[in-house]
Amino acid sequence: MQAKDEVAGLCSDLLKLDTTNFGGGEAKGEREAAEYIAAKLAEVGIASQLYESAPRRATLVAEWAPPGTDTSATPLLVHGHTDVVPAIADDWSTDPFAAEEADGYLWGRGAVDMKDFDAIILAVVRERASAGRPPRRPIRLVFTADEENGGRFGSHWLVDNHPELVADCPEAIGEVGGFSLTVNGQRLYLIQTAEKGIAWLKLIAEGQAGHGSLRNSDNALTHLAQAVARIGEYSWPSRITSTQRQFLAALEELGVHVDPDDPQAALSALGSIGRMTAAAMSNTANPTRLDAGYTVNVIPSQASAGIDGRFIPGCEGEFYATVQELLGRHVRYERINADVAVETEFEGHLVDAMRASLAAADPEGIPVPYLTSVGTDAKAWSRLGIRCFGFAPLRLPPSLDFAALFHGVDERVPLSALEFGVEVFDSFLQIA
């Protein structure tokens, strides 16, 4: 199978392109990555268009509906992103942009988030186009910029400025789903049908400036520190969605009971996905930054902090009300980045196609829906009413701490998982 032979090479090429997204509108390499993908598609006769939201911030869109495709069917949006979070080279065992192969893995920043699936898409589409094997339905390929910083220069920009490019797609598949989790010897394949909303906040405290040697009962740092402590130590109540109920029911059948009020107790049984499971049981708000003062002997008039907040679908109002209560009267907040929570049903023809394609490659695997604590470009597509799923299939070693690899040091993907993804995705396009 041509796709299996070239998927590692495609992934390696993408990993060697430094597409670091530094946030705040600053990134590099996205145009080069989009041009690389465009060239690979052009080699097999698929034309694409690049759209720049700002200089070099490029998103690629391509329509693929070759002869033999059922053009009466609605298009399926298949999307990936090309940007990656920063990597500090000194922390890594390998150069994060060298794409080294070692111990059966391909190493590099973006190997699991998400140049692995970008490569799987490219490999399968290229083979099918070369061999004259059309997909069942029209496919809309979109590779976005800026996903790692909320998509303001990528998916959200596309929806705001060119909604016609994707609005006719009722369904979409993308990242953070389709990977395996082994529980008590049984492989589950986690299909993302929901994701938490995002609330990145800047806390601001104001007080009386003065000399560091004098008493001061209106100290901005003190006000801020107390608010940060209250938020960081707050125990959020459990909020279980339909998606999570189905996921927990699947775990229960395998002998793993997860107490919604004490999910930490099941972490050892769930392995690498345990932390993500616990995070999906409730709203969360984690202090991540502090900023105040300019010298030790001056009490500043203002202090600020960063909070990474995530809320369960349907719980946005509760989240903000709780944060407001925890802040107290001396501290206010501003929203740095806010985005919606997303959830859809684990049913329908597309889900049946996921089940069938996974079963063909791994008859013993069990697909189950789950809610992820991270955000994806699905937030932008959902604004157009598109049903979004995370389905980037990978069969993973039971011992691999997969969750830790997202944005982590020594990010890597098993070469065998890339080949598995090719097999499943090829089958999926035949029936989706």
- Are the C-beta atoms of 382 and 419 separated by less than 8 Å? no
Rounded (10°) angle between helices 349-361 and 415-431: 140
Handedness of CA 95, 99, 104, 110 (dihedral sign): positive
Long-range CB contact pairs, 128-132, < 8 A, 24+: 128/426, 128/429, 129/44, 129/45, 129/46, 129/64, 129/66, 130/2, 130/44, 131/2, 132/66, 132/68
Q: How far is CA 323 from CA 332, 333, 408, in A?
A: 10, 9, 28
Strand partners, 194: 343, 371
Cis (ω within 30 of 0) for the bond into 114?
yes
The domains located in the chain, with CATH, are 2-175+372-431 (3.40.630.10), 198-238+286-339 (3.30.70.360)
Model confidence pLDDT, tens digit, residues 172-199: 999 999 999 998 899 999 999 999 999 9
Residue 309 and residue 378: Cα distance in Å, rounded? 18
Q: DSSP for 322-386, please give it.
A: HHHHHH-TTEEEEEEEEE--EE--S-SHHHHHHHHHHHHH-TT-EEEEEEESS--THHHHHTTT-
Instruction: Give the β-pairing of 171-174 and 387-390.
Output: parallel
> What pLDDT, on the 0 to 100 scale, is given for residue 260?
76
Q: How far is CA 193 from CA 45, 91, 172, 312, 391, in A?
A: 33, 34, 11, 13, 9
> What pLDDT, on the 0 to 100 scale, is given for residue 170?
98
- Are the C-beta atoms of 223 and 315 separated by less than 8 Å? no
What does pLDDT average to in each consecutive run of 10 residues of the chain (432 residues)?
93 98 93 98 98 98 98 98 97 97 97 98 98 98 96 97 98 96 92 97 96 92 97 95 91 85 71 78 95 94 97 97 96 95 97 98 97 94 98 95 91 98 98 96
